[in-house]
Amino acid sequence: MKTTGNTIFITGGSAGIGLAIAKKLIAEGNHIIINGRNQERLDNALKELPGAVGIQGDFAVEADRIRVAEELKNNHPEVNVIINNAGAAFAYLLSETANAHEKAMTEMNVNYIAIIHFTELMMPHLLQKEAAAVVNVSSLAVYGSHKFLPTYCATKAALHSYTVALRYTYEDQKNVQIYELYPPTVNTEFSAEIGGSNGIPASEVAEELFMGLVKNQFDIPVGEVKKYAAAVGKAMAKLAAQEANS
């Protein structure tokens, strides 16, 4: 896709991966709108993002998603790219909690339901644009399960499945592209509880996203996730060949 001159809205753009993406895309000549729950954090991030604006809102809350979508359409009608990045995760052991279902509901709401809802709210607007894109931030977690993230991984697998369905839905509409970004462990506040300090810097994720957008590479595995993506790709190709020969 065209990687300059866009107006790009990033949920959870005031820290971590979202902030790194905002910095990279500003440097490449795009107008950026970031979001986050905490206004002070948003204001601090904006100091590092020349020309960017912020829209406060909690994407776990349906009314906030509706308000933010309306604000974008009314006050920033030029918005043509949305990056669904805000996420939630609980690190815990199933054997040591009595409320796994509540944690799962919170994670599923932010990582999956909120993205479906917000995309639904924005899609009619995006479809009117000459060129538009949706970027969903999933994870290495798409490829497996994790003892200490027992319910988070399933939410990212669900997001992956939805993203593929969204891509199929709009594949004839050449003006809207659907991307999925798969970060490995990244050194952010989000991953601190699960050894994230050994992860890659968020700036590396932003660079890989940018290269993926340049190449119209709709699935963008980052770092070690490339190994998993390649293994799954090979297995699928083998299955397809077996099917063709049977």
Ligand X SMILES: NC(=O)c1ccc[n+]([C@@H]2O[C@H](COP(=O)([O-])OP(=O)(O)OC[C@H]3O[C@@H](n4cnc5c(N)ncnc54)[C@H](OP(=O)(O)O)[C@@H]3O)[C@@H](O)[C@H]2O)c1
Binding status of residue 196 toward ligand X by CB under 6 A: yes
Output the smallest distance, CB 128 to ligand X, in A. 25
Q: With CA atoms as reference, report the closest residue to 88 among 37, 23, 48, 123.
A: 37
Question: Which residue carries 């979001």 as its tokens?
Answer: 35
Output the smallest distance, CB 97 to ligand X, in A. 20
Q: With CA atoms as reference, report the closest residue to 25 among 75, 85, 69, 110.
A: 85
User: For ligand X, which is the closer residue by CB, 218 or 223?
Assistant: 223
Binding status of residue 58 toward ligand X by CB under 6 A: yes
Strand 219-221 and strand 7-10: pairing?
A: unpaired
**How would you label 66-94 residue by residue, b for 16+ Cβ within 10 Å and e otherwise?**
eebbeebeeeeeebbbbbbbbbbbbbbee
Binding status of residue 137 toward ligand X by CB under 6 A: yes
Output the smallest distance, CB 165 to ligand X, in A. 19
- Which of 142, 186, 209, 220 contacts ligand X by CB under 6 A? 186
Which amino acid makes up residue 181?
Answer: L
Q: With CA atoms as reference, report the closest residue to 147 among 93, 195, 100.
A: 93
Binding string to ligand X for residues 67 to 96, with x set by CB under 6 A, is what? Answer: ------------------xxx-x-------
CB atoms within 10 A of CB 174: 8
Q: Please say if 182 is a catalytic residue.
A: no
Output the smallest distance, CB 15 to ligand X, in A. 4
User: Which residues belong to the active site?
Assistant: 152
Residues of this chain that interact with ligand X (CB under 6 A) are: 11-12, 14-18, 35-38, 41, 58-60, 85-87, 89, 110, 137, 139, 183, 185-186, 188-191, 196, 199
